[in-house]
Structure 1
């Protein structure tokens, strides 16, 4: 009988896959020996595999280059990274190796931009696209960046007051974009995004506030879909509506020359994940080309803002199964040595799925389990609601430690979890390591942050005062 964990994976999925393979009964991730990491650094453990960031950026650039050539598209493609997905310096340093641009969402983002500029990582010709609802400090920081000579800083207008607020602090002429308030999917609790300006109001807004404003030049129309770029009727319908606005606006606004198709690509959340990225890029470029040809207007330069796609597949987390609790005749709880709420908060907040695999013991028999975290919160668990299927792992044995890995966790989890701050039930943040390759292609590792100590948490709570 096929009762081993390796048999289960092999008969359920195509395995091995590009990033996953086995060395004996140990899982490897991009040829990294994960058990060796555990033996060196312990568990729980978080890691970031930096080369995957550059790899995904290059993939997207290739897809767009092919589509632009195929359709004889006359505009350019510009890849920008959403810093909100992960603000860490090691992430930005890796991403910026690839001649990309930056999208920001709050005031302190601009401080990061200034830091990177001072180090030569960002130049004045790097586009800094400023999204989000802007008040006070964000307005001031954007103005400071533009006043200092960064002419490719483009604030995206989110509401009717922002042009006046920006004009009061920016001392020179400046470029802007306008964000479209897209309509949400029917299943949403509201009809229209709270961000941006409605489809029908874009042209009147331009006529009333931008057209005769000698200080302001409209360069970009920003189109964002909350659910991301997906091959469904909703996405294509919203893109079509966006292109109608663009072509109408272009006819009365010669300076408009860029379309930002915000909303990211999905990332792999299961070994059964399928998504035809190349087809989607090809069809997007084709649709823009056709819409502009039909209305006899020049095609725009295309910008994308990929956050999760850029950094998500670089991250992972490894836990040890400490103990198994059988609470009734059907449910076995494998208790991990950390917390899902604190280390992978999206599993708790939005039932997000991640790839979950055993790190070791692939030749052992498997069993169906539930996974529980260490906190006393009843919501600190991971089961088939979040996972693609029921969870099966090698059978728990006290004499044979079991380690499990969650993969493609690199976007948002540290920010939402409050990296370096308080954690629910004072569960410490795990050690975090960075994995890279040297010039010869050898794997290198370094500790980015150690596991939180009680002294650090007590200090935050004021007990050292």
Structure 2
């Protein structure tokens, strides 16, 4: 009988996969021996496999280059990294190795931009696409950057007041973009995004505030939808509406030369994940070209702002199963030595699912379980996988420690979880490891941050100096 965990995986998925394989009966992630990581650093831990950031950037750049060539598209492509996905320096340093640009969303982002400029990581040729609702500090910081010579900083106008606010502080001429307030899918609780300016209002807004304003030049139209880039009728319909606005604007605005299609590439959330990125890129380029050619309008340069796609697949977390509780005849709870609410907040807040696999004991028999976190909150649990309404793991054995990994968690989890701050029930943040490759291709590891100590939390709470 095929009763081992490895049999379950082999019967359910194509395995091994590009990033996952077994070596000496333990799980490898991009050739990183995860049990060795646990033995060296302990668990719980989080890790960032930095080379995957460059891998994904170059995959996307390759897809767009191929689509542009095949469609004889005359515009250029610019890859931007959406910094809000992960602001950490090690992430930006890795991403910026690949001749890319960046997208910002708040005032403090501009401080990071200026720090990167001082270090020579970016320069005045780097596009800084600045989204978000802009008020005093954000406007001041953008003005400082542009007044300092960074003309490739393009504030994306989100509301009707921002042109005036920026004009008051920016000394010379400056470029802007306009964000389209896209219509949301029917399942949303609202019809139109709170971000940007409505489709029907964009041309009048341009005529009223930009067309005769000698200080401001419109360079970019920004299009993004919450559900991201998907091959469905909703996405193609919204893109078509966006292109109609672009064409109408281009007819009266010669300076408009760029279309920003935002972000939203999905990342792998299951071993059964299947998404044809190359097809989607080719079809997007094709649709833009067809629409522009039909109206005899020059095609725009294309910008994207990939955040989760850039950094998500670089991250992982490893926990130890501490104990098993059988609460009734059917449910077994495997208790991990951390908390889902604090370390993987998207699993709790938006019911997001990540790839979950055991690190060891793949050749043991398996059982169906629920996973529980250490907090006293009833919502601190994880109970299903993306591919099935259940979790199966090697059977609990108190004499044989079981370690489990969650993968592709590199986007948003640290910032939403409040890295370095208070955690729910004062469960400490785990240590964080950076994994890289040296010049010879050998795996290297570095401790980025220690697990939080009680003194760290007591200081925040005012109990210690």
Indicate whether the TM-score tops 0.5: yes
Cα deviation for residue 272 of structure 1 reads 0.1
Do the aligned partners of 1:358 and 1:393 also contact (CA within 8 Å) in 2? Answer: yes
TM-score w.r.t. structure 1 length?
0.99
Counterpart of 2:139 in structure 1 is: 139
For 2:221 and 2:58, how far apart are their aligned partners in 1? 25
Counterpart of 1:10 in structure 2 is: 10
Counterpart of 2:45 in structure 1 is: 45
Cα deviation for residue 388 of structure 1 reads 4.2
Counterpart of 1:178 in structure 2 is: 178
With over 3 angstroms needed to count, the CA separation of the structure-2 counterparts of 1:98 and 1:111, relative to structure 1, is same
Do the aligned partners of 2:327 and 2:333 also contact (CA within 8 Å) in 1? Answer: yes
Cα deviation for residue 263 of structure 1 reads 2.8
For 2:389 and 2:76, how far apart are their aligned partners in 1? 42
Cα deviation for residue 389 of structure 1 reads 3.4
Matches within 5 A, 1:418-437: 418-437=418-437
Cα deviation for residue 24 of structure 1 reads 2.5
Q: Which runs of 5+ in 1 are unaligned?
A: none
Counterpart of 1:245 in structure 2 is: 245
Cα deviation for residue 36 of structure 1 reads 0.2
Cα deviation for residue 411 of structure 1 reads 0.1
1:304-328 residue CA offsets vs partner (Å, 9 max, x unmatched) = 0000000000000000000000000
Cα deviation for residue 384 of structure 1 reads 1.7
Runs of 4+ off more than 2 Å: 385-389
Counterpart of 1:459 in structure 2 is: 459
Cα deviation for residue 386 of structure 1 reads 6.4
The Cα RMSD (Å) is 0.7
Is the partner of 2:289 in helix, strand or coil? Answer: helix
Do the aligned partners of 1:354 and 1:387 also contact (CA within 8 Å) in 2? Answer: no
Do the aligned partners of 1:353 and 1:388 also contact (CA within 8 Å) in 2? Answer: no
Do the aligned partners of 1:316 and 1:409 also contact (CA within 8 Å) in 2? Answer: yes
Counterpart of 2:283 in structure 1 is: 283
Counterpart of 1:327 in structure 2 is: 327
For 1:454 and 1:386, how far apart are their aligned partners in 2? 35
Do the aligned partners of 2:314 and 2:410 also contact (CA within 8 Å) in 1? Answer: yes
Is the partner of 2:318 in helix, strand or coil? Answer: strand
1:6-51 residue CA offsets vs partner (Å, 9 max, x unmatched) = 0000000100000000013200000100000000000001000000
Counterpart of 1:83 in structure 2 is: 83
Counterpart of 1:398 in structure 2 is: 398
For 1:87 and 1:62, how far apart are their aligned partners in 2? 25
Is the partner of 1:409 in helix, strand or coil? Answer: coil
Cα deviation for residue 464 of structure 1 reads 1.1
Count of aligned pairs between the two proteins: 465
Do the aligned partners of 2:272 and 2:387 also contact (CA within 8 Å) in 1? Answer: no
Counterpart of 1:165 in structure 2 is: 165
For 2:115 and 2:351, how far apart are their aligned partners in 1? 35
For 1:308 and 1:387, how far apart are their aligned partners in 2? 20
TM-score w.r.t. structure 2 length?
0.99
Cα deviation for residue 387 of structure 1 reads 6.7
More displaced stretch, 23-32 vs 52-61: 23-32
